[in-house]
Amino acid sequence: KAGVTQTPRYLIKTRGQQVTLSCSPISGHRSVSWYQQTPGQGLQFLFEYFSETQRNKGNFPGRFSGRQFSNSRSEMNVSTLELGDSALYLCASSLGPLRSYGNQPQHFGDGTRLSIL
C-alpha cells in the first residue's frame, strides 16, 4: 500500500510569491491534515479536510488555505509568501476525521521543504 505522497519535496520561492503544495493520502483515507514544522515553533496544525470540507483550522493567517478533491487528494496554498513561512510542511492522512473516537493514527508524508529567499 503506497504511503502519503507529497510533492514537491523541495521548493524555493521569493517573498510575495504564492505556492501550492500537493498531498495524496493513503488509498482509502479520507481525512487529510496539514502541519507546519519549524525549529522555533515545532509542529503546528494548519487545517484538516474531510470529504472535501475543511473540518478544523489552526491559528494561521488567511494567506494559508487549502482544499480537498473528490479523490481525497489535497492541496495547500500559501499566498504573499513571507520569510517566516520557510518550513517543512507535512501532510498526514487518516481513515476518518480527527473527531472520531478511537485509534486513528495519522500517517505522514515525507514533507515539502519550503525555503523563502
Partner 1 sequence: AQKITQTQPGMFVQEKEAVTLDCTYDTSDPSYGLFWYKQPSSGEMIFLIYQGSYDQQNATEGRYSLNFQKARKSANLVISASQLGDSAMYFCAMREGPNTGNQFYFGTGTSLTVIP
Query: Under the rule (CB under 8 A), what is the footprint of partner 1?
Result: 33, 35, 42-45, 48, 55-56, 58, 88, 90, 92, 97-99, 101-111, 113
Q: How far is the CB of 12 from partner 1 (least distance, A)?
A: 17
The residue to which cell 482509502 is assigned = 28
Q: Closest approach of Cβ 84 to partner 1, in Å?
A: 18
Give the gyration radius of the chain's Cα atoms. 13
Least distance from partner 1 to the Cβ atom of residue 8, Å: 14
CA 96-22-77 angle, to 5 degrees, is 100
